[in-house]
């Protein structure tokens, strides 16, 4: 099925943001917006549009999808509704500010937004610094990026399915760990998740980056 009206031109999909879009050239290539495998927008492409052209329409779509999810995640992590909402807005602002760091060959949109939400949580609950590894620049070839990004998205979906297939007890431990409910001493030694294939994907992307950097 091909989409004839790009999402960002549907008034209901971006209610309230049309004014911000006025006068801004928008790309007409609907293929970049939707993933052929599902009817969902391709979230990674939307982040890339924020990254490459500060596209507020793309941002609004991301906001409508991810902000309520981040709010839910932070409430699971122990925040009350008001505070979680405030933080979810902060997370989306950070997405806008740090979009230059988004590399779709190493993280899906959900993964990247998760890392921002996690850091916000550490900040608000534990008031600690969060040392992070040096950021690496993304690769210079957009075509290689698109193919690698697609492959990574497939691997990410497989990982998500593998998480669903875990025995209830193990799944619960993984979820509670990410909600920040467990201390590191309480974490299980083995989750039994098949991380090998997604890892080799990301490793390949990193090797390309290193080659481009030198």
Partner 1 sequence: MTTTHHLNEQMLLGYSAGVLPEAFNLVVASHLCLSDDARAMQCCYDALGGAVLNKCEKEKMSLNALSLTLQQIKTCPCDTQAPQICTGIFPEPLQKYVGDKPEALRWRSLGKGVRQAIIPTAKGATVRLLFVPAGQSVPDHGHRGTELTLVLQGVYVDHGNRYGRGDIEIATPKTTHHPIAETGQDCICLTATDAPLRFSRMLHRLLARLLRL
| Residue number, 26 or 191, with CB nearest to partner 1 | 191
In terms of CB distance, is 31 or 98 closer to partner 1? 98
Please say which residue, 10 or 130, places its beta carbon nearer to partner 1.
Answer: 130
Contact criterion met (CB below 8 Å) for 79 and 139 = no
Cβ 63 to partner 1 shortest distance, Å: 5
Of 67, 73, 185, 60, nearest to 125 by C-alpha is: 73
Q: Which is nearer to partner 1, 31 or 158 (CB)?
A: 158
- What the block records as the tokens of 125 is 């609950």
User: What is the C-alpha separation between 189 and 50, in angstroms, rounded?
Assistant: 38
Q: Closest distance between partner 1 and the C-beta of residue 16, in Å?
A: 6
Q: Which residues lie across from 41 on neighbouring strands?
A: 34
Q: How far is the CB of 148 from partner 1 (least distance, A)?
A: 13
Cα gap 62→83, rounded to integer Å? 20
Residue 176 CB, shortest distance to partner 1, in Å, is 9
Per DSSP, the three-state class of 116 is: helix
Instruction: Name the minimum Å distance from CB 169 to partner 1.
Output: 15
For residues 95 and 116, the answer to whether their CB atoms sit within 8 Å is yes
Residues 6+ apart with CB under 8 A from 1: 39
Nearer to partner 1, 33 or 74 (CB): 74
- Select 70 or 149, whichever has its Cβ closest to partner 1: 70
How far is it, in rounded angstroms, from Cα 178 to Cα 118?
8
Question: Measured from the CB of residue 134, what is the shortest distance to partner 1 in angstroms?
Answer: 4
First to last CA, the chain: 43
- Tell me how crowded residue 166 is: count the other CB atoms within 10 A of its CB: 16
């Amino acid at each position: 099925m091909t989409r004839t009206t790009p999402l960002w031109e549907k008034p209901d999909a971006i209610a309230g943001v049309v004014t911000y879009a006025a006068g801004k050239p928008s790309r007409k290539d609907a293929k970049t917006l939707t993933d052929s495998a599902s009817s969902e927008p391709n979230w990674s492409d939307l982040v890339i549009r924020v990254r490459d052209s500060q596209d507020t329409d793309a941002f609004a779509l991301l906001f409508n999808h991810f902000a309520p999810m981040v709010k839910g995640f932070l409430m699971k992590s122990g925040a009350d509704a008001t505070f979680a909402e405030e933080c979810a807005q902060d997370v989306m602002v950070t997405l806008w500010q740090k979009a230059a760091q988004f590399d779709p060959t190493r993280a899906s949109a959900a993964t990247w937004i998760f890392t921002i939400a996690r850091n916000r949580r550490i900040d608000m609950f534990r008031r600690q610094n969060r040392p992070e590894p040096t950021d690496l620049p993304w690769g210079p070839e957009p075509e290689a990026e698109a193919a690698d990004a697609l492959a990574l998205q497939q691997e990410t979906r497989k990982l998500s399915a593998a998480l669903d297939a875990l025995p209830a007890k193990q799944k619960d431990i993984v979820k509670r760990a990410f909600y920040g409910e467990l201390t590191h001493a309480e974490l299980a030694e083995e989750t039994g998740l098949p991380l090998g294939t997604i890892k080799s994907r990301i490793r390949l992307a990193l090797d390309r980056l290193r080659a481009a950097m030198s």
